[in-house]
Every structure is written in C-alpha cells, then in structure tokens.
Amino acid sequence: MKPLIRFGLDSLMYLARGSTIYYGWLMFLGFLTLLMFLGAYEQFTKGMIVTNYNDQVSWGLYEAQFVFLVGVAAAAVTVVFPSYVYHHKKMKEVVVIGELLAVSAVLMVLIFIMFHMGRPDRLWHLFPVIGIFNWPHSMLTWDVVVLNGYLALNLICAFYYLYMKYLGREVNKLFYMPLVYISIVWALSIHTVTAFLINTMPSRPMWFHSAMPIKFIATAFAAGPSLIILSFLVINKFTKLKIAHEAIETLAQIVAWCLGITIFLVLSEVVTELYPSTEHSFSLQYLIFGKHGLTGLVIWYWSAMVLLLAAFFMLLTPSLRKNHGLWLPLACAFTFVGVWIDKGMGLVVPAFIPSPIGELSEYTPSAIEIVNTIGGWAAGLFIFTLLAKGAIGVLLGEVRYREATDLASEFSSEWQPVVHSSEEISK
C-alpha cells in the first residue's frame, strides 16, 4: 500500500502548486460553488416553491442539465474508441483526460438529480431492491444503475492507468482492456437509457418517438467532443503537455459528422411533426413559432439553429477546422451551446407545454435555479480542473514514484561535500 499512499500524497502536493491563473480559476469556481450551497440550503429548507416549477411544467432547468450532461459523459467514448480499437497513437497518449471529463460530467449529473428530487434524503428510494421504485420495471432506477456503473468504470480505468504510469509500469492488459471495452458499450447504454426514460411517456408526444435514442447519441457525440477539444486547446496553451494536432483533428471530424446527423434528425422531426400538423405537434409548434401569444422558447430554438448551422459549416471547411487559434474553438463553442439549448431547454420544457389536458403554462427559471445550475457546473469544472492537472503531472513525469534508493542517491548527489586538496587549502 505504500506506493499507493505515496501516489495520493505526491498528487496532492502537485495539485497545490500552480500559477496565478490556476489559483484564480479555482477561487472563481469555488465562489460559484459556495453560492450553490447557499441556494441548495434555500431550496432544501423551503421546498421546490423557490423554483418556478408548477403543476403543468414539473421539469425545467435542472432536468435540462441532467439530460445534456449524460451525453457529455458518454462522449468520452469518442476518445477511448479510436485509442484502443483503432490504435490511434496520439489519442491514446491523452485518453485519460477524456475519461476524467466523463467522471466530472457524471458527478454533475448526480448533483442535478439531487436538485431535481427536492428531497435528497429520499435518494435511497432509487436504489434497486431496497428502494420503493419497482426495479427492473422502473426506467429511472435503470438510469441510476447505468450512471453509477459508468462512473465506477471510468474511475477504475483512469486511476489505474495513471497509477501504472506513476510507477513506470505497463498496465495489466488482462485486467485493463476488458474494462475499457465494457466502458465503450456502457457509454452508449447510459444515454440510450436516458432517452428511454423520456421517450416511453405516451402523454408527451414531443418525446414519444423511436428516433429519440438515435438523436441523443448523435447530439452527445457532437457536444461532448467539442468540450474535450476545448479542454485540449486550453491544456496546450497553459500547460507543458502538448496534445498532438492529429488527436484534435480526429475529434473535430467526429464533431462535424455527428453535428450533421443531428441537424438532419432535427429537420426530419420538424417535417414529420408539422407537415400533418396534428394536436400532437402543438409542443413543437410552441417551441418554433409560439402558440396563443406564448413565445418564451422561440428565441432559444432559433438561436440554437443558428449556432448549430454556423458551427457545421465552419467544421466542414478544412482551413477553418484546422485553425486552432480562432475558428475551431469558436465552432466547438457554438456546437456545445447549440446542443445545450436544443437538448435542454428546447427538448425538456416544451414537452410539458401544452399539458396532456391542453393547458398552456410558460416556464422561466427562478434565480435560485439559475444560481444552483451555475454552481453545479462550477463544481464539476472544479473537479475536472484538479483531476486534469493531476493527470498532466503524471503524463509529463513530474509526478512519479521514486524508490528510497533513488531518493537517497538524489540527495547525496545534490549535497555531495566538496573536498579540497592541500594545495588549494594553502592558497
């Protein structure tokens, strides 16, 4: 256990060192997280009355983050799959960064699940067998099972890989590779089950179609790699670790094609729903054009479409896609925000408007919801910053295991006494 303890201690010592930008970034995220704790206290003591949820719209900003972040977590497979299936050498060098991003995203998902529940002390009801939810028939319990399983897989894979790197050894492939292949399949399952969670509700016509899981996977593989690319570009700029352009270019192409599939599915849904224009298309009509003078989400929808189309054409142009200084980060930011709108506010909220009995009630997030949402993201980014910094230290060899003999020799070489000859002494 001694090397494992030293691995933890050395990592903590490395995390404590950094530039002014590093400390400032952590302090900023810590402040936002503190605000989240204050907002959580307000919500958990006063109840969901502090949010703007109502009898008609019972899902809102929290659920939008939950649905979106499950996709971000699943997108780690876009780094793992090329690394271990197609043996992409440059991608394999930084695959652990994608796995740590998945860990951070799942932890954010759990934060927003607690905010969604309103009573986190009743979280145990989601546990299989002991909870009141009828597992395996409850899709929500299945979602909890696959999310926690995916979290465990990525934690084991990432930290085992870093620990072996810290020791200067090769991973045990008989132990490591099966976990990698299981995590690849599991990544698809977490977003598929999340899609099943909502598209098995006949009372919500906007969700009730079989293309929902396909759309979830496509949007996940567009938004998630966009965030990974932005993380890689930040790492290249502010750290000694230099991520190869080939790895970033591979991810950029994945984003381009998955974004194209996403746009195609969005257009197909619009034609399918609006061409016959039945009462089942009222939710989509409200989202795109507004209905009966209610237009709260119209600006969100059209903003998302503009961002996604602009990002798609930027990524399709090789000269823009390979420009890592401006156009690629801009395209990735547009993709990330556009998918967040389309998959969050543009998917979760309008399914409740109108209600199954035809009532229309608009929803706007309250200040508490906004503070808690920003704080949830800040907490996740805080965790990812620390995890990524620790991983970078191991990958660069700045955090490595040194035997006691190595430490003694290093000490003796640094403090070797100077022996002068008698002639030098007499002079």
Supply the pTM of this predicted model: 0.90
Question: Does residue 427 surpass a pLDDT of 70?
Answer: no
In a domain, 48, yes or no: yes
* Residue 203 pLDDT: 87
Domain assignment of residue 297, given as a range: 2-400
∠ CA 351-207-153 to the nearest 5 degrees?
A: 115
In a domain, 294, yes or no: yes
Give me the mean pLDDT over the 309-314 stretch. Answer: 96
* Residue 155 pLDDT: 95
pLDDT tens, 260-274? 999 999 999 999 989
In a domain, 425, yes or no: no
In a domain, 336, yes or no: yes
* Residue 138 pLDDT: 82
Q: Who wins on pLDDT, 144 or 109?
A: 109
Q: Who wins on pLDDT, 320 or 126?
A: 320
Question: Does residue 415 surpass a pLDDT of 50?
Answer: no
In a domain, 58, yes or no: yes
Q: Show the 3-state SS of the chain.
A: CHHHHHHHHHHHHHHCCCCHHHHHHHHHHHHHHHHHHHHHHHHHHHCHHHCCCCCCCCCCHHHHHHHHHHHHHHCCHHHHHHHHCCCCHHHHCCHHHHHHHHHHHHHHHHHHHHHHHCCHHHHHHHCCCCCCCCCCCCHHHHHHHHHHHHHHHHHHHHHHHHHHHHHCCCCCHHHHHHHHHHHHHHHHHHHHHHHHHHHCCCCCCCCCCCCHHHHHHHHHHHHHHHHHHHHHHHHHHHCCCCCCHHHHHHHHHHHHHHHHHHHHHHHHHHHHHHCCCCHHHHHHHHHHCCECCECCCHHHHHHHHHHHHHHHHHHHCHHHHCCCCCHHHHHHHHHHHHHHHHHHHCCCCHHHCCCCCCCCCCCCCCHHHHHHHHHHHHHHHHHHHHHHHHHHHHHHCCCCCCCHHHHHHHHHHHCCCCCCCHHHHHC
In a domain, 422, yes or no: no
Tokens of 332: 């990735």
Question: Does residue 411 surpass a pLDDT of 70?
Answer: no
Question: Does residue 419 surpass a pLDDT of 60?
Answer: no
Return the amino acid letter for 80: V
Q: How far apart are CA 344 and CA 355, in angstroms?
A: 18
pLDDT tens, 219-239? 999 999 999 999 999 999 999
In a domain, 414, yes or no: no
- Confidence at 128, pLDDT banded by 50, 70, 90: confident
Instruction: Identify whether the C-beta of residue 81 lies closer than 8 Å to the C-beta of residue 184.
Output: yes
**Which range among 152-156, 302-306, 404-408 shows the weakest confidence by mean pLDDT?**
404-408
pLDDT tens, 284-308? 999 999 988 889 899 999 999 999 9
In a domain, 417, yes or no: no
pLDDT tens, 342-366? 988 899 999 999 888 888 888 999 9
Most distant CA pair in the chain, distance:
106
Q: Helix crossing, 139-167 with 173-199: angle to 10°?
A: 150
Give the residue from 406, 414, 233, 416 showing the smallest Cα distance to 336.
233
CATH number at residue 274: 1.20.1630.10
Instruction: Identify whether the C-beta of residue 251 lies closer than 8 Å to the C-beta of residue 336.
Output: no
Domain count, the chain: 1
Q: What are the distances in angstroms from CA 118 to CA 43, 55, 344, 356, 387?
A: 7, 15, 19, 24, 29
